[in-house]
């Protein structure tokens, strides 16, 4: 998926279990309207936690259901660490993760 064809969806602030569903629905709507795919820009994310991982997994599954490509760019190092510890680095398509340049795909 080229960035030129993909819609960009910025994720800013904190993801918590209180706001997870609202953010999830907005991202899923973007996936549904995308012709090619979506790049979720995580560079404005304040924290990495299990709620954020659950959100990325939900978007990954939604993209699969809609036959769309999805990528997660600029993930904070804390989030990347949780993804690594969870064994999800082979599942979630991370690009340009903060502090983990080897995650560029």
- Residue by residue, pLDDT tens for the chain (105 residues) are 555 577 999 999 999 999 999 999 999 999 999 988 999 999 999 989 999 999 999 999 999 999 999 999 999 999 999 999 999 999 999 987 654 444 444
Domain total of the chain: 1
Structural domain includes residue 1: no
State the first-to-last Cα distance of the chain, in angstroms, to the nearest integer: 11
Q: Note whether residue 60 is domain-resident.
A: yes
The CATH number covering residue 89 comes to 3.30.750.24
pLDDT of residue 10: 97
Does residue 2 form part of some domain?
no
Helix (H) or strand (E) holding 22: helix 20-33
**Is 0.95 topped by the overall pTM?**
no
Question: What pLDDT was estimated at residue 53?
Answer: 97
Instruction: Answer yes or no: is 68 within a domain.
Output: yes
Residue 6's pLDDT is: 79
Q: Does the residue 45 lie in any domain?
A: yes
Structural domain span for residue 72: 7-103
Residue 80 included in any domain: yes
Closest-CA residue to 70 (of 40, 101, 96): 40
Residue 40 lies in a domain: yes
């Amino acid at each position: 998926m080229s960035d030129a064809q993909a819609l960009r969806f910025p994720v800013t602030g904190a993801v918590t279990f209180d706001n997870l569903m609202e953010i999830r629905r907005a991202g899923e709507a973007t996936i549904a309207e995308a012709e090619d795919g979506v790049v979720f820009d995580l560079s404005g994310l304040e924290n990495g936690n299990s709620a954020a991982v659950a959100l990325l997994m939900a978007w990954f599954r939604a993209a699969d259901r809609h036959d769309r490509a999805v990528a997660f760019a600029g993930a904070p190092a804390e989030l990347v660490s949780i993804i690594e510890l969870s064994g999800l680095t082979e599942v979630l398509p991370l690009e340009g993760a903060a502090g983990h340049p080897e995650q560029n795909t």
